[in-house]
């Protein structure tokens, strides 16, 4: 019997299989004879044993059977209640936002990782908790552009006055949602702050606008801290956002010396934190994000470079299972 793989993710029936990294990982696992089960964070269950009080981790999940096509790409078995501790590997792949629901699920998985019997988790929950995607670059001075994180109006306005042309982002957003470019002559800055602060208690992140984004925002995939490939994401005409979810165009690319330097500096940290599959974003010479929750891009990279990135991920996972 093959390995049993649990995948914590958003509903599989709602994905776009053509560009979805989680789908590619599951498809590769299935091709290797593994049993793949999917569930969402709301179907993660912790209960205590009636006699001993020991935590028991269960999931309400379905086994999936996948086909590499755009329509009719998944069939399901019936729902089952499964002991998560009987799984060999758990892929933690649900998308942000990095809110209390996400945090709670990750805390529970971190507790699971401390048990005597637990699946190998990719990525390691403690690593996810220790590396919020827009905060993690701050560990590497000199690699990221001028940045401010705050809710303080005076500090936010001072940063804008200093750099004139800036990018405003939700600190825990994803997929390009809620990102605005604010030029020096733009009169909507105060209104945007009011809007964000009315719907969230979280700080905002401001960064200097990098004109190099017009040439693309590179997504670089690292496997266990080593470069596996990259794709350049070019903003659509009239847009400053390069994310593929919001209309960016994928292009083949090669890494510059500076980008390789960034990857080399990140590698030891990623390995130490158990972040086996990560995707970093680089604009020009600057690191802007370290994506550790559900990094995407491997299908595009695989297509452009005729290489099986999902296969490389599983080769790395299996090597760790053997240790």
Q: Tell me, yes or no, if 93 is annotated catalytic.
A: no
> What would you report as the CA-atom Rg of the chain, rounded to the nearest whole angstrom?
20
Residue 304 CB burial class (10 angstroms; 0-12, 13-18, ≥19): middle
pLDDT at 79 over 90: yes
> Which residues have CB under 8 Å from 316's CB, separation 6+?
223, 224, 276
Q: Pick the catalytic residue from 169, 218, 299, 312.
A: 169
Q: Quick one: average pLDDT of 301-320?
A: 96
Supply the angle between the helices 298-305 and 21-31 in degrees, to the nearest 10.
70
Q: Tell me, yes or no, if 169 is annotated catalytic.
A: yes
For residue 188 the two structure tokens come to: 């909507």
238 sits in the region (left: phi over 0; alpha: psi -120 to 50; else beta) called: left
Q: Tell me, yes or no, if 18 is annotated catalytic.
A: no
Bond before 123 cis per omega within 30 degrees: yes
Which position has the token pair 């690191």?
287
pLDDT at 98 over 80: no
Distance from C-alpha of 133 to C-alpha of 114, rounded to nearest angstrom: 24
Q: Quick one: average pLDDT of 165-183?
A: 87
Q: What percent of the chain shows pLDDT beyond 90?
A: 85
Q: What is the pLDDT of residue 123?
A: 97
Q: Pick the catalytic residue from 218, 241, 299, 312.
A: 241
Q: What is the pLDDT of residue 323?
A: 76
Q: What is the pLDDT of residue 292?
A: 95
Distance from C-alpha of 309 to C-alpha of 261, rounded to nearest angstrom: 21
Q: Quick one: average pLDDT of 2-31?
A: 96
Name which residue leads in pLDDT, 323 or 121.
Answer: 121
pLDDT at 11 over 70: yes
Q: Tell me, yes or no, if 241 is annotated catalytic.
A: yes
pLDDT at 166 over 60: yes
Sketch out the chain's domains with CATH numbers: 4-122 (3.40.50.20), 146-209 (3.30.1490.20), 212-309 (3.30.470.20)
306 sits in the region (left: phi over 0; alpha: psi -120 to 50; else beta) called: left
Grade residue 250 by pLDDT with cuts at 50, 70 and 90: confident
Q: What percent of the chain shows pLDDT beyond 70?
A: 96
110 sits in the region (left: phi over 0; alpha: psi -120 to 50; else beta) called: alpha
Q: Quick one: average pLDDT of 111-115?
A: 96
Polymer length of the chain = 323
Q: Are 106 and 100 in contact (CB under 8 A)?
A: no
Q: Tell me, yes or no, if 134 is annotated catalytic.
A: yes
Q: Tell me, yes or no, if 47 is annotated catalytic.
A: no
Q: Tell me, yes or no, if 323 is annotated catalytic.
A: no
Q: Pick the catalytic residue from 123, 174, 243, 291.
A: 291
Lowest mean per-residue pLDDT among 18-22, 31-35, 60-64, 239-243: 239-243
Q: Tell me, yes or no, if 281 is annotated catalytic.
A: yes
User: If DSSP codes are grouped into helix, strand and coil, which group holds residue 153?
Assistant: helix
Distance from C-alpha of 306 to C-alpha of 299, rounded to nearest angstrom: 10
pTM tops 0.85: yes
Distance from C-alpha of 323 to C-alpha of 103, rounded to nearest angstrom: 29
Rounded mean pLDDT of the chain? 93
């Amino acid at each position: 019997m093959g390995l049993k793989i649990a995948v914590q993710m958003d509903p599989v029936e709602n994905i776009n299989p053509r560009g979805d990294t989680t789908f590619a990982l599951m498809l590769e696992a299935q091709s290797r004879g593994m049993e793949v089960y999917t569930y969402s964070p709301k179907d993660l269950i912790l209960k205590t044993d009636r006699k001993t009080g020991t935590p028991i981790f269960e999931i309400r999940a379905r086994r999936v059977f996948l086909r590499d096509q755009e329509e009719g790409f998944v069939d399901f078995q019936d729902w089952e209640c499964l002991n998560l501790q009987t799984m060999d590997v758990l892929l933690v792949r649900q998308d942000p936002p990095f809110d209390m629901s996400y945090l709670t699920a990750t805390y529970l998985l971190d507790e699971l990782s401390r048990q005597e019997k637990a699946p190998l988790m990719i990525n390691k929950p403690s690593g996810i908790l220790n590396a919020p995607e827009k905060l993690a670059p701050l560990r590497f001075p000199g690699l990221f552009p001028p940045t401010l994180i705050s809710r303080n109006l005076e500090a936010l306005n001072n940063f804008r006055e200093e750099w004139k042309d800036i990018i405003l982002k939700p600190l825990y957003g994803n997929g390009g949602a809620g990102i605005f470019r604010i030029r020096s002559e733009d009169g909507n800055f105060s209104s945007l702050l009011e809007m964000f602060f009315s719907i969230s208690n979280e700080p905002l992140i401001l960064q200097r606008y990098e004109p190099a984004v017009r040439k693309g925002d590179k997504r670089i995939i690292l496997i266990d801290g080593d470069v596996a490939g990259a794709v350049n994401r070019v903003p659509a005409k009239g847009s400053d956002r390069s994310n593929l979810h919001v209309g960016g165009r994928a292009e083949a690319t090669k890494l510059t010396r500076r980008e390789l330097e960034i990857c080399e500096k990140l590698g030891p940290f990623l390995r130490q934190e158990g972040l086996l599959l990560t995707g970093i974003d680089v604009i020009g010479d600057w690191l802007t994000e370290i994506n550790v929750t559900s990094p995407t891009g491997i299908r595009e990279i695989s297509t452009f470079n005729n290489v099986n990135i999902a296969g490389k991920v599983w080769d790395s996972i299996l090597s760790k299972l053997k240790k």
